Structure 1
Amino acid sequence: MNDGSASDLRFALLGPVRVWDGENPLNAGSPQQRAMLAVLLLRRGRTATAPELIDAMWGEEPPSQATATLRTYASRLRKVLGASALVTEAGGYALRVAPGALDLARAEMLAAEAEKRRAAGDPRRSRELLAEALGLWDGEALAGTPGPYMEGQRSRLTEWRLALLESRLELDLELGGHTEAVSELTALSAEYPLRERLRSLLMLALYRGGRQAEALGLYADTRRLLADELGVDPGPELAELHQRILRADPALAAQEAPAAEAPEGGGPAWVRPAQLPATVADFTGRAAFVAELGQQLSTAGGRVMAVSALAGIGGVGKTTLAVHVAHEASEHFPDGQLYVDLQGSSPRPAEPEVVLASFLRALGTPDSAVPDSLEDRAALFRSALAGRRVLTVLDNARDAAQIRPLLPGAAGCAVLVTSRVRMVDLAGAHLVDLDVMSPEEALDLFTRIVGEERVDSEREAALDVVGACGFLPLAIRIAASRLATRRTWTVSFLARKLADGKRRLDELRVGDLAVAATFELGYGQLEPHQARAFRLLSLPDGPDISLPAAAAVLDMDPDDAEDLLESLVDASLLESAAPGRYRYHDLVRLYARSRAESDDPPGTAPAALARLLDFCLATAARAYELERPGDRAPHHLTAVSRPGLPLDCRDSALDWLFAEAPGLLAAARQAAAPENRAMLRPAADLLLMAQDLMESGIHARAYEDVTRAVVEAAHAAGDRLVEGRARSLLGQALGMSGQFDGADAEARYAMTLGTAVTDPVTCSYAPNLRGIIALYRSRYQEAADYFDRALSAFRDDGNEPGEAAALSNLSRALLSLGQKDRAVAAAEAGVAIYQRQGVTLRLGNGLYALGIALAEAGRLEEAVDRQSEALAIFRANRQRLWEGMTFYRLAHSQLAAGRPRQAAAHAEQALKLLRDIGGDWRRGTVQVILGRALRAVGQHDRARACWTEALELLERTSAPEIGEVRRLLESTASVRNPPTSGPTCASSGRS
């Protein structure tokens, strides 16, 4: 019985009918008693008479003692709820409920507020409110309550929930979340095939995701379904969308929603960025360009975003002009200005996903809310800027591909791009070709820096100087700066020095080396220990460096190193990208390296890089051990001279590995240079310890490239142990991206090398990889033989996690040989080893293999459970490739279990995750299973579009599934109405 206040009671109708006193659940009684409670709750405090309650609960055939039964139910409910909650009045009953105590009332309030927010131009907050309202549902409304009134209310609430869901999905598309929405819309359109609004939203989401053929196929499916089921054509909205897709209406891809000024409900508050660098005080000339660009920016409030791209050679003044124009136009962009140097002229341009993370943080997005993938970050960035007026300066871009993900996409925003290349492939951009200065502008700039008095007295000599500089602004600035700081020099003296064509470049250092002169004064003022740090820290190739890694390079205590690094920041010779992280401007790095080459004794640079590599290897090995307890690979590494970070848990190890990934891979690549080949062994070992990056998706391609460089260097050096390990890792990387022929060649070569030097690492890794490739190529007995060989090698080395991996892989081969019981047993043995060792990430691989074996053995519910466990592990460990492949396997299992809606949703999730990783073969096999699931729910034309794309992808790799896909396409050519339900066999694709 409730002894407290009625205000402590909480009620739920959006699911089973339930009641709580505070946090304590109360017994609401039998189904009929819960039905009475539900009727009273739906009356919202109004009295329900006995005849009304009887009619609601029993309809036209009430029991003979209905009135007495009501009294009994009322008495029991009063004991549970308290006398103050359930009252008797006017021959009936009423329930007094505190405001906000009923989930339905809260959902209605949230939905109403969402509608207001959307009308007010705040779609993000509206979407949050709708999601909160939908989150109150816990299954079917009024579940388990009998009676005709309950049935009617259940239908009403179901319809309302669908309407809310459609509104939320519409907002998802407005806010750029079309890729994420496809999976949910696919499942819903299969569950509610006659709801045209869902079909319309799915068509739009597919089209915006670049899947036009599927969108058109879905329309054909819908038209046929409506004709067959209802004898009608699609409605005007769907028909119009179809026509717009056919003509590729640009407006379909340009719908962006406005944003609220200050999100409520715990969302990140808007932060107004002001990132523009200071404009130069002596800016001069370029009047026509300033006017032209200013006009473009001042009209950025139109229907489309304004994009201007400045192109020209290095040193022509692109950045100076862009920053000056941006400052001039800042009043037109009250919501702020973003700026980034994309380092396009460097060997390692800035990655768009890294830039987007920085922009999102600058806009107030917390680190925890920044998505992992490039696509998700770009979508969130577009959503954050929707409805705002923000100017973004993208400086020093490499090409259009680098900047496309960084474009806001919203009317009212504008982007200024600078690059050494002319971006003719940047659609809609206003292109500006920036040439050298005119003689008059060049002389004006020179005079502003040097001073009128000195120039006026030697005007002809000044014209000679700017002419020798080729009227290039950067060269003019360097020459003028040198003259301005040397009061004893005359303009004529400088002109004579520049007159000698053989020495002119030495005097001006035009191009990338031209800035060296501007850093000489600052460098000359450094203390010896500062100068040493300045030189040594420029040697690593990574985009930036952490404080612990910098301490290793300098061979110093981290606290002392921090003081030294901060002094260089104060001298403007080093930048602090974030607390504890440091970087050089690209040109400063070049200068620092030139000083290292000239000022440091021979062997200094290799020793510094070796210390960094040792630090990276030691820390990576610690991270590897935390993730793979019991794995013997760390016992076979080269000895290191420096300790790594004392990582103490898996999460911190994973965070370190992914945060330092660019620097780790850069360190391994540098070791492959001819002058650093003494470091090849630790470089290969670092790649071995950091192999999780291979499967992460975002770093997979860089890992492959670096590993290939190490392979080539080891081959040239004749180091068979390093070459064997590196080839084994390269083979894995190639296999991950679907390049199976290359993977097999590397694994075969690695086996030969590993055997020659008796390396336990290569002797176990390489046959395991060869077995995987044989499995992909349908050579099942060969695969089993290789897995047996790998199993023996792992056991000989005492490597239990490796043994578990080989058992999991052997399970796959046994399945293909028809030995299902042995396959399940092998997979279970592998999982048991992982569990005994406390392994986490690789347990996901074991569960993945076990799920496949269970599915093939017909134990589908167990298979789904194991695959779901694997999915959670891969997500937690940021393994996008395996997360995507697990969704693919779940789609197989759900389809085989006769649940095509769930199968289609899982396949869509797989497609989203594998879009940029995994190679053509994996994407093709996902399209196959997606097509099967869509056919099973009646979307035949869309299924055909999937199989057409699958065939194109699989033909690139000569995959064995090609014949299957052709048969599927042939089957759709003549069959217009195949079965729409029932179990469907999974395809034979393996991964």
Structure 2
Amino acid sequence: MRVRLLGPVELTADQHPLDLGGPRQRVALAVLGLNVNRVTSVDHLIDAIWGEAPPPTARAQIQVCISSLRKRFGEAGRPDAIKTRSPGYVLELDSSEVDSLEFGELVAVAQQDAEAGRTAAAAATLRTALGLWRGPALDGVTSDLLRHEATVLNDRRLTVLEERFRLDLLLGRHEEANAELPALIGVHPLRERLYGLLMVALYRSGRQAEALEVFQRARALLVEEIGIEPGPELCELEHAILNRSPALDLAPVDLAAPEPETRVTPRQLPTTIGDFTGRDGLLDEIRRLVGAEAGLAVPIVAISGRGGVGKSALAIHAAHELGQHFPDGHLYVDLHAPESDDRTPALLARFLRALGVPATSVPDGAEERAELYRSRLADKRVLLVLDGVRDEAQVWPLLPGSPTCAVIATSRSRLSGVPGALCLDVGVFSPDGGLELLGRIIGADRVQAEPEAAAELVALCDGLPLALRIAGARLASRAHWRIDGLVRRLRDEQRRLDELSHRGLEIRSNIGLTYQALPSVAQRLFRLFSLVQAPDSPAWVAAALLDVDLATAEDILDALVEAQAMETVQYPDSPHPRYRFHELIRAYAREQLLDVESTVDRDAALARMLGGWMALAEEAHRREYGGDYTVIHGTAARWRLPAEVSAEIIGTPMTWWDSERHALVAAVRQAAEAGMDELCWDLALTSVTLFEAKGYFDDWRETACHALGASSEAGNRTGTAAAQYSLGTLHMFQTRTAEAANCFRAALMLFEAVGNMHGQALVLRNAAHVDGIRGDNEAMLAKYDEALEIMPLVGDRIGEAHIQRSLAGWWLGQGQTTRARGLLEQALSISRQEHCLRVEAQVLHRFAELHVAVERFDLAREALHRVLRIVRNIGDQIGEAYAVYGLGVVRQREGRLDAAATTMAHALDLSRRLGERLVEARSRYALGEIALLRADFMLASTHLQAARTLFAALGSTVWLDRTLGLLDEVEVGVPS
């Protein structure tokens, strides 16, 4: 059995390829094969197969791929080769069972033979290694993620081939080289080392002129193709051939004998911190991988996290703990430091000198330095710590080739492009972890003396170790300071970064390193995103802030997340990530916003973002009601996404509204603070659709008050009327009839003054309902009639249906079922024509009351079950409470008292949780009535007393009289 990656990806049994199935199985096998004996995460497999656009069923399809591969391995006699290991799978095989691993082992053996002077053996081993190749690595596998791995393998093959030619020349096999090299140069025409090898082969074959002609061809091609002259090695070789240098007869590549080397054991690790704490789980992971017995691949740990989170401290501490496992030395480089600007050749030279290679023997070329570096580390146990890596490109050339070595790298970006690396994300401290660190710095007694202040200090520092160290150092240097004194200073967001500075340590410069490394467009989004006051935001907010399309904004957001300047939040009920700042980063971004962006640009970005919320809320309301019904809108500018994008974002309107509730409330608040009164009242009023259905009365009150304040201050009479109407409707829902009537009176006067007929009709509709609760039927009917005349004039068909439903309820109470039925049929027809499920449910609920009145309980149940399906699907919890209460009434009228009591108890629970006091009062009344029928006078009294209190507070005189009548019956029934 064999996994073959050096050519077309194959799994063979008895040297015959097995049928792997589709391309996904080939990609999965390639990924597992490149990470043999290392865990490959499911996410990594998904990225390899689908890239940036995986289907929703990606994880399930990965399971199918793995199951299929397991069957093939079973056919090959290794059914247990693929094992499940969190967070993915591991392919457990010997190096002899994977051609790429066997290739690497053969090359390592050849290197040892060459260093020991066993040239013929080394050349023979390399021929065997190269014989494993059947074509380009991973041939036939289409995966963006695997393209880099294939390139690395193919480059390695070419390097080994060049080394084989070098050894052949040392063995005098010039003619063979003359025959093979021209064709190879034709495939790789920019590879200077191949030209050099051919020149030496031709010269040693007595063909000096042809050797010089090869140099001229190489020079002409390099100048024409990429505009550069040949490198110094090729030029020196031409000069040596021209002068028939004797050195060419002895050492055609190494023109000078190396100086004697000194055996040294580098110990370059910085000191670890004495109060290191809080990373036990991460340390265990590092110990597990790095401290294990040498396997087939170099153990690599890639530690990532935002600036100041303690990545370097963790890496250095872990390296010290594991130091005894690496007796041949510890190499360390700080890539944050200024000298990290030296590119790979300089770093390789540093490491070579640290490993005992004399400076004069360090090769000039980066490739030769890398080869010598890997050769020096072969079979040695050396630990390499790369601190502050920028990206994967910095890591690749510095990786040892020997699995006896190990690498620990830290980076603000996740180094997921390093195959086989164990990626560890370092987060901020938990509250307990932060308190432990603070206690180690300032003493546990001070923390215990002010526990609340210490906990707040940890929160204000975002749990960030660097921030906690700075705050702790300030407290430690001032024994007379109380913790709450520093907390008071840190509460001021504008001063927070100034306070988090102490004797060369500061947060501002640390965050600044991340900010300065960002592309300019990402820097601008970083600044503008500080305008967002919501806890987190969807990606489209970034598009609005920058005024770009969504795909562009997502790319820029990904750059910020990759740089650890921002983090994502994934909620279980949403397929899309959300984005947010940590508070300290937000404070820095706010500073940059005020320093860099003009007031005009800041205001324009804010207006686009809030206009985006307005556009989406407006569209969600339209989809919920079938149009701009039962609402009025203002003239504030909208920032609109393409229609198909908006539709995807909104999805189910009520679900979208609910998920964005906090952001919508923040947007209303922010519009009020910015003096955007027109947008403020419009967004607040449109959001009532959510607050009403879900019973979010606190949010409703807050947003309506913001709208009222902003509109009143700006002299915006339409906005003031809309806010008064919204507050009146809130009071109406909470059955505070006096407050509701006052608000509606003020709103109606303002709407009449500005000539807004639609606003007048909406106010009249709800004011009529309040009159009905208070028993003023004459006023109620007059207002309903007036509103019903206006609604067709302003085109509000759903408003018509609302009023028809309400009037039907009145006539039903008067026993005029025929008249009620006619109104309800009209209302139902409108709601269905406009595809407004919410109002259809309300009309069907009233139909159920009609069916109960004529004792058609079967039809009533059918209607209420339809209502329940609708309100639960659209997320209308208030509607659900009314529907459940209605079912309880039906069961009570049918005489099914047990079922009725259970249903009414459910309605009571729902109404109390939602603050829906009318349903609560009526459910109490019904439960009291049922208890009275069962002669349970104590329970009846409890429910009816509660109902009396509620009806009195609601001003519902009819229901109050009914309740008092039942209480009299209870008094009669209770034994004296």
Give the structure-2-normalised TM-score: 0.48
Pair member with larger Rg:
2
The one of the two structures with greater contact order (alpha-carbon pairs below 8 A, sep at least 6) is 1
TM-score, length-scaled by structure 1: 0.48
